[in-house]
């Protein structure tokens, strides 16, 4: 730096220092006013005459107790104290925030609740008793999720490749579901590294576990866990979420969340294979982008049709369906053919229903669809719906399934 520029730089720095009113920076508004009276050697009564305001109005401003923001008085004070409008407004709002910190904090928490939770939906499912008792609402949310503060809910942004049957539109309910999943995963430490080659080797064994309605999914979950993939079950909570499942990148490991999308046993297995396809072929993108909701965003290069087709062909291919279609009304034949191909018979009937949706054959084959609620109980589905704290639900599931 040459000599002239050096002097200019020093002059600019000194000008900035001397123009900066340290009194404004370090003293509250009340003290600034009293110091000004001393400096001008006038009384408070005289200042009221100068400002053209009454004693009550001035005190309300100086103490931060004004019920309404009187900008005219604030601007008058700005000129009287010889500080900028911006500085005095900042000082005033700082004072108000300090004076009314408790009520402002309460309003912030309630505003956060309104903006991040669908209270009518939460009341409908029995999570809260009233949409107006905010103290109770806050307590229940913090207790269920294990939050130290209601604002902890803000950390659960949607970062998943979601498998959805229909377009999901209610972001508050979706976030509630996602937060329950994340809080549960946070309490399910998986010590194993993700083993993609191991998953490929294990894949041929997955399908035949569908034959075991009582324990099949549980056995698959345990095997996947040792491959570094955590599988949990979180119910939908509300009817407006049409999710089959999700693939998350959590702690840099794949995590799959399943939900009971329909009453059909086959749908759960279809969702599992669909999500495992994402783990195999979209994992790097999910780790990087961490955001994809089927039908709502194209932020990730994930082909849902490809994942659906993979799940369909893996569980029961079109070629096999063409063979069984003519015998679909022969239960013994279907059962035998299903066992030969290592799938539960209900998967055949469900796929047949999907292929003939216009004919509405669901009711005709309903008796072949097993009830799998007992299996889901092992994943603590009802405990979520009873709104037991997620910490306890996770502990119960971890001991029962993953022995941790």
Cα–Cα dist 126/144, whole Å? 13
Residue 218 C-alpha from the chain's centroid: 26
> In this prediction, what percent of the chain has a pLDDT beyond 70?
87
Q: Which residues pair with 246 in a beta bridge?
A: 162, 257
Given a contact cutoff of 8 angstroms between Cβ atoms, the answer to whether 61 and 30 are in contact is no
> In this prediction, what percent of the chain has a pLDDT beyond 90?
58
Cα–Cα dist 251/5, whole Å? 53
Q: pLDDT for 170-186, tens place per residue?
A: 889 989 999 999 999 99
Higher-confidence position of 67 and 336: 336
pLDDT over 70 (residue 50): yes
- The per-residue pLDDT for 349 is 96
Q: pLDDT for 211-254, tens place per residue?
A: 999 999 999 999 999 999 999 999 999 888 878 888 988 888 99
pLDDT over 60 (residue 13): no
- The per-residue pLDDT for 131 is 96
pLDDT over 90 (residue 365): yes
pLDDT over 70 (residue 348): yes
Cα–Cα dist 207/341, whole Å? 9
Could you write out the three-class secondary structure of the chain? CCHHHHHHHHHHHHHHHHHCCHHHHHCCHHHHHHHHHHHHCCCHHHHHHHHCCCHHHHHHHHHCCCCCCCHHHHHHHHHHHCCCHHHHHHHHHHHHHHHCHHHHHHHHHHHHHHHHCCHHHHHHCCCCCCCCCHHHHHHHHHHHHCCCCHHHHHHCCCCEEEEECCCCCCHHHHHHHHHHHHHHHHCCCCCCCCCHHHHHHHHHHHHHHHHCCCCHHHHHHHHHHCCCCEEEECCCCCCCCCEEEEEEEECCEEEEEECCCCCCHHHHHHHHHHHHHHHHHCHHHHHHHCCEECCCCCCCCCCHHHHHHHHHHHHCCHHHHHHHHHHCCCHHHHHHHHHHCCCCHHHHHHHHHHHCHHHCCCHHHHHHCCCCHHHHHHCCHHHHHCCCCHHHHHHHHHHHHHCC
Give long-range contacts, CB 8 A cutoff, 24+ apart: 329-333: 331/368
Q: pLDDT for 268-315, tens place per residue?
A: 999 999 999 999 999 998 887 654 344 334 445 677 899 999 999 999
Sheet strands side by side (includes 253-258): 230-233, 253-258, 243-250, 160-164, 292-293
Assign 26 a pLDDT band (cuts: 50, 70, 90): low
Exposed, middle or buried by CB within 10 Å (0-12, 13-18, 19+), for 281? middle
- The per-residue pLDDT for 243 is 81
- Pick the closest to residue 181 from 372, 376, 381, 377 (CA basis): 381
Domain ranges of the chain: 3-99, 115-152, 156-315+371-402
- The per-residue pLDDT for 30 is 85
- The per-residue pLDDT for 21 is 47
Domain 3-99 is in which class? mainly alpha
Assign 2 a pLDDT band (cuts: 50, 70, 90): low
Given a contact cutoff of 8 angstroms between Cβ atoms, the answer to whether 163 and 231 are in contact is no
Higher-confidence position of 290 and 41: 41
Across residues 192-219, what is the average pLDDT?
96
Across residues 258-277, what is the average pLDDT?
93
pTM of this structure: 0.80
Higher-confidence position of 89 and 341: 341
Cα–Cα dist 277/193, whole Å? 18
Cα–Cα dist 111/145, whole Å? 19
Higher-confidence position of 105 and 303: 105
Q: Mean pLDDT, the chain, as a whole number?
A: 87
């Amino acid at each position: 730096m040459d000599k002239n520029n050096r002097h200019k730089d020093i002059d600019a720095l000194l000008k900035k220092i001397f123009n900066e009113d340290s009194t404004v920076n370090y003293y509250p508004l009340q003290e600034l006013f009293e110091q000004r009276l001393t400096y001008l050697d006038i009384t408070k009564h005289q200042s009221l005459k100068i400002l053209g305001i009454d004693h009550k109005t001035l005190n309300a401003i100086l103490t931060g107790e004004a019920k309404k923001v009187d900008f005219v008085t604030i601007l008058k004070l700005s000129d009287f104290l010889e500080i900028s409008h911006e500085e005095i407004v900042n000082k005033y709002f700082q004072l108000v925030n300090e004076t009314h910190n408790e009520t402002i904090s309460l309003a912030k928490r309630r505003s956060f609740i309104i903006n991040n939770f669908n209270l009518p939906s939460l009341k409908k499912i029995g999570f809260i008793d009233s949409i107006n008792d905010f103290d109770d609402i806050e307590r229940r949310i913090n207790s269920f999720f294990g939050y130290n503060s209601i604002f902890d809910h803000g950390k659960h942004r949607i970062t998943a490749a979601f498998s959805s049957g229909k377009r999901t539109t209610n972001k508050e309910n979706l976030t509630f579901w996602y937060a329950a999943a994340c809080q549960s995963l946070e309490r399910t430490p998986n010590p194993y590294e993700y083993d993609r080659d191991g998953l490929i080797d294990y894949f041929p064994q997955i399908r035949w576990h569908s034959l075991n309605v009582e324990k099949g999914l549980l056995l698959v979950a345990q095997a996947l866990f040792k491959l570094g993939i955590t599988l949990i079950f979180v119910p939908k909570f509300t009817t407006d979420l049409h999710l089959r499942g999700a693939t998350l990148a959590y702690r840099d490991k794949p995590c799959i969340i399943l939900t009971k999308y329909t009453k059909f046993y086959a749908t759960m297995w279809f969702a599992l294979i669909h999500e495992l396809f994402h783990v195999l072929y979209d994992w790097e993108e999910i780790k990087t982008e961490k955001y994809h909701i089927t039908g709502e965003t194209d932020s990730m290069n994930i082909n849902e049709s490809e994942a659906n087709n993979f799940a369909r062909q893996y569980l029961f291919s079109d070629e096999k369906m063409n063979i069984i279609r003519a015998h679909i009304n022969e239960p013994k034949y279907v059962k035998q053919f299903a066992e030969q191909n290592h799938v539960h018979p209900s998967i055949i009937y469900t796929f047949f229903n999907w292929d003939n949706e216009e004919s509405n054959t669901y009711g005709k084959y309903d008796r072949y669809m097993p009830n799998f609620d007992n299996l889901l109980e092992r994943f603590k589905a009802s405990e979520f719906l009873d709104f037991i704290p997620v910490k306890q639900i996770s502990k119960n599931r971890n001991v029962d399934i993953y022995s941790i």
